[in-house]
Structure 1
Amino acid sequence: MTAQQFGAPAGTRPGRRRPTIKDVAAVAGVSRGTVSRVLNGGTNVSPSAMDAVNRAIERTGYVLNRNARSLVTQRAWSVAFVLAEPQERFFEDPNFSTLLRGCTAELGKHDIPLLLATAGTQEERGRVVRFLGSGHVDGVLLVSTHAGNPLLEELSRGDLPVVACGRPMGHERRVAYVAADDREGARDVVRYLRERGRRRVATITGPLDTPGGVQRLEGYRDVVGSDGPDLVAHGDYTQRSGEEAMRQLLERAPDLDAVFVASDLMALGALTALRRAGRRVPEDVAVAGFDDAPIAVGAEPPLTTVRQPMERISAELVRLLMARIAGEEPSAVILPTELVVRRSA
């Protein structure tokens, strides 16, 4: 069989048989073993051979037989993206869809599909744990866990590789994770507000059973010191909670002149509450968020915020998970944040 027979993708000619690894090897000019190594992650394959095989796969229209591959390797060749939140949060909070897209793209480089599951209720957690324990996936990317969540406890006890997005509170030694430097990011933005002449800087925290909620509050307190509890209100990362927390802050501390909000979504709610109270942003009250989600640019006024490096977080999540699947010990990556100044502060 010659290379010229593969001038069009599989399926374009009636009755044509499915291309095989042997066909890919012939077109690429490499051995079948080299093609097999490329399909199994590219270990010990030169860049030129990798490129030749990938071009041959595209040219021949070769499609991997995952069932046969799984029988040989004892792997499922898929990964689960598990969001430990109610389903509606996935659609409300843009960070989750950004992470999902990034992780999907990174896993695509390994020819591994990503399965999405939500586990925000006890019933959902039970279904997810049973599914994950049945050998359907090789590993789990766990997103938005709360301290004491039984899902994290159950997964960390098993043999299935798990990597958490954010510090897995109470499981840091057993579970690999990738996180932004929440505390330093909070310090940076609160210091900026103080340097701009703001003296009564309040904060709206995230949930205090999450690493972001705890560490962003700690960063705030590192800068403001012992300012009273009237300048701290709590949210749950939803827009509605940001609006309600801002309303409470204005009642308790009407002289506040700035607020650091622990997420951009909550900051949108804070802006709504300030408008209703007749406060101008930033003239009367400066507002700063955290995340640099796409909604930060579209806010009115556009939000000063702390940028999380979501692309790098996605890449590191996948890198650590592939390492865990390969048998490496759990490790952690903490990535720096960046202050982004816009018109709200």
Structure 2
Amino acid sequence: MKESPMIKHTPTLEEVAAAAGVSRSTASRAINGGSRVSPEAQAAVDDAIARLGYTPNRAARSLVTRRSESIGLIVPEPDIRVLSDPFFSYVIRGMNLALKETDVQLVLLMAQPGESLSRIGKYLGNAHIDGAVVVSHHHEDQLENLIVQSRTPAVFVGRPFLPLKELNVVDTNNLGGGRLATEHLIAQGRRNIAHIAGPTDMTAGEDRATGWRQALEAAGLAPGPMHGGEFTSAIGAYAMERILAEDPTIDAVFAGSDLMASGALRVLEHHGRRVPEDIAIVGYDNLGVAETTEPPLTTVINPVSDMTRWATFELLYQLGYISEEDRYGGLDLDGVVRTGNTTVLPAKLVERRSS
């Protein structure tokens, strides 16, 4: 019976082997990265694949390699925050940039607030993914222990609370960023500087607040009021109201995120406080929000896309998907500090009209 011209023939492994002039087993090893294949045979198989348009069966290949050819992105945050906070779009953008030259797929693993992480732990334990990148983790998540217990290769974006030696970490200098933001305000002549702080159960929030305190102490200034919570616009507005009620004489605010700063700006406008004439404000992130506020925000860059690219490359290297040469491909190494399993990207300030 003649094959319908509408149906495209899918080349088989046997046809690849015949076209390459090798056995089926040799062709299989060549396709799946086996070490017992001569350079000549590998070249012949690669040529046959290109000529025939052969696409390997991922399920069959995973039986040979014992790999899923997928990595997880673990996000212990509610759906609404993942969908509304630009942080997460930059996370995914960075991972996709790192994965675009590979056949590795991205799997999103999320946990709602208060939800047990046992489901994620079971998923990791059953080796459904080869490794994971962990972002936006909180103290109570205990993800550090979960990762170590599951023996899943992983890289944390952001410093975890538990400094376990088995963990690989890519972070930015949040403490230095907090200092940089506050020093900028001091240099503008501001002397009563408040802080809208990020969550105390995240190291980024703690480190930025510590940097604020250190800069004030170094300048011989007393810290202004501090209030905060989650990195959201609503919390920024709430904290700004509390700060003004506590000390209406403040002349500057360092906000732990640009979303928080945007909420603070609305409150300052409502109270008739001019920015920056009456109160200067500096945010943190530079992920799009800072350019859309009025006035545009001076802010510290949170290099989220670069951090997740770096973390993904590091994970792919651990898993053997990329070489040492490709481990830092296209990454900006200027100012980056590597200590053991930890990589820290530098803090940089972007000046705009809010300060």
Answer yes or no: same fold by TM over 0.5.
yes
Deviates more, 1:229-238 or 1:217-226: 229-238
Alpha-carbon spacing, 1:60–1:337, altered in 2? closer, same or farther (3 Å):
farther
Tell me which residue corresponds to 1:131: 123
Q: 1: distance between equivalents of 2:233 and 2:18?
A: 54
Could you report, residue by residue, the CA deviation over 1:219-244 in whole angstroms, capped at 9, with x for unpaired residues? 11111127556521122101100110
Tell me which residue corresponds to 2:205: 213
Structure 1 residue aligned with 2:269, among 258, 265, 275? Answer: 275
Q: Does 1:17 align with 2:10?
A: yes
| Number of matched pairs | 324
Q: Does 1:146 align with 2:138?
A: yes
RMSD, aligned α-carbons: 3.4
Residue type of the partner of 1:255? T
Q: Does 1:337 align with 2:347?
A: yes
Contact 1:145-1:152 at 8 Å conserved across structures: no
For residues 39-118 of structure 1, the aligned pairs below 5 Å read: 61-118=53-110
Tell me which residue corresponds to 2:244: 250
Q: 2: distance between equivalents of 1:35 and 1:281?
A: 66
Q: 1: distance between equivalents of 2:116 and 2:109?
A: 9
**3-state SS, counterpart of residue 253 of structure 2:** strand
TM norm structure 2? 0.81
Q: 2: distance between equivalents of 1:251 and 1:21?
A: 77
Question: Unaligned regions of 5+ residues in structure 2, if any?
Answer: 325-339
Tell me which residue corresponds to 1:197: 189
Q: 1: distance between equivalents of 2:94 and 2:189?
A: 38
Residue type of the partner of 1:315? R
Structure 2 residue aligned with 1:286, among 259, 280, 290? Answer: 280
Contact 1:257-1:286 at 8 Å conserved across structures: yes
Q: 2: distance between equivalents of 1:281 and 1:110?
A: 47
Shift of 1:20: 5.2
TM norm structure 1? 0.83
Structure 1 residue aligned with 2:230, among 228, 233, 236? Answer: 236
Contact 1:21-1:35 at 8 Å conserved across structures: no
Q: Does 1:175 align with 2:167?
A: yes
For residues 280-319 of structure 1, the aligned pairs below 5 Å read: 280-319=274-313
Shift of 1:123: 3.4
Question: Unaligned regions of 5+ residues in structure 1, if any?
Answer: 1-11
Contact 1:204-1:259 at 8 Å conserved across structures: yes
Residue type of the partner of 2:189? G
**3-state SS, counterpart of residue 300 of structure 2:** strand
Residue type of the partner of 1:253? D
Shift of 1:209: 1.5
**3-state SS, counterpart of residue 92 of structure 2:** helix
Shift of 1:273: 1.1
Q: 1: distance between equivalents of 2:241 and 2:271?
A: 8
Contact 2:71-2:132 at 8 Å conserved across structures: yes
Alpha-carbon spacing, 1:186–1:172, altered in 2? closer, same or farther (3 Å):
farther
Shift of 1:38: 8.5
**3-state SS, counterpart of residue 11 of structure 2:** coil
Contact 1:118-1:124 at 8 Å conserved across structures: no
Alpha-carbon spacing, 1:22–1:171, altered in 2? closer, same or farther (3 Å):
farther
